[in-house]
Amino acid sequence: MLLEDKTIIITGASSGIGAAAAKIFAAEGARLVLGARRAELLETIVDEISADGGEAEFIAGDVEDNGYAGQLVKCAEERFGGLDGAFNNAGTTGDVGPIPDMDESNWHKVMAVNLNSGFYAAKHQIPAMRKRGGGSIVFTSSFVGHTIGLPGMGAYAAAKAGLTGMTQVLAAEHGPENIRVNALLPGGTMTPMAGEDASYHEIVRGFHALKRMAEPSEIALAALFLLSDHATFVTGAALVADGGNSINKL
């Protein structure tokens, strides 16, 4: 099992990619600390993992809060004896629209959820991994702001590009401590964030070279690789798992 005896934090774990990751990581032997805002959904996922013989705890909270990042790490250390990895996956697109028309509160909200949360996560997770002699951190970033500029998503692009840049610096700073840090850049994925508009989904599918959107499990499997010992020489990477969105023009 790729994550046997490893303790992993997952944020944004109540649905979509995070929920898929929780089930896949548990099946691969990980002990999990799950975080998201919706306690009832987290409890359901923990119950499912426990029923299958896995180990998981959850703490509901908001990734915009520095203290919450610390609570997740404290749970990993107190419940499972330490922290080996983290999939910092929580995020939001915010309101879509041109920068000149964007409300200032939307800009700050998108930055707080997507970028500030990564800062808080690193501040707490890296010292915990240092105690273990190493670890692996994965941030969910985006091809938006990295390979393309998608109109209407200026705040999201800025936050995710900042997250990828921070990933590179963290990897350089903490590589000597055997702490790997990577960014995962998904394409369009069938999650609640994608909405339920079938006509919109059809347009998005056309953006991809594979002519489809990802299932959450496909992105979770890419995160699994980065967290596992199959990726021991991978750090500072921006791993694009976008179904060819970035390279497709037709």
Residue 88's φ and ψ, nearest 5 degrees, are: -85, 95
- Bridge partners (DSSP) of residue 184 are 140, 239
The active-site residue, picked from 68, 120, 156, 200, is 156
Say how far apart CA 119 and CA 206 lie, in whole Å: 34
Tokens of residue 192, six digits = 């609640």
Asked if 125 contacts 79 with a C-beta cutoff of 8 angstroms, the reply is: no
156 is a catalytic site residue: yes
- Catalytic annotation, residues: 156
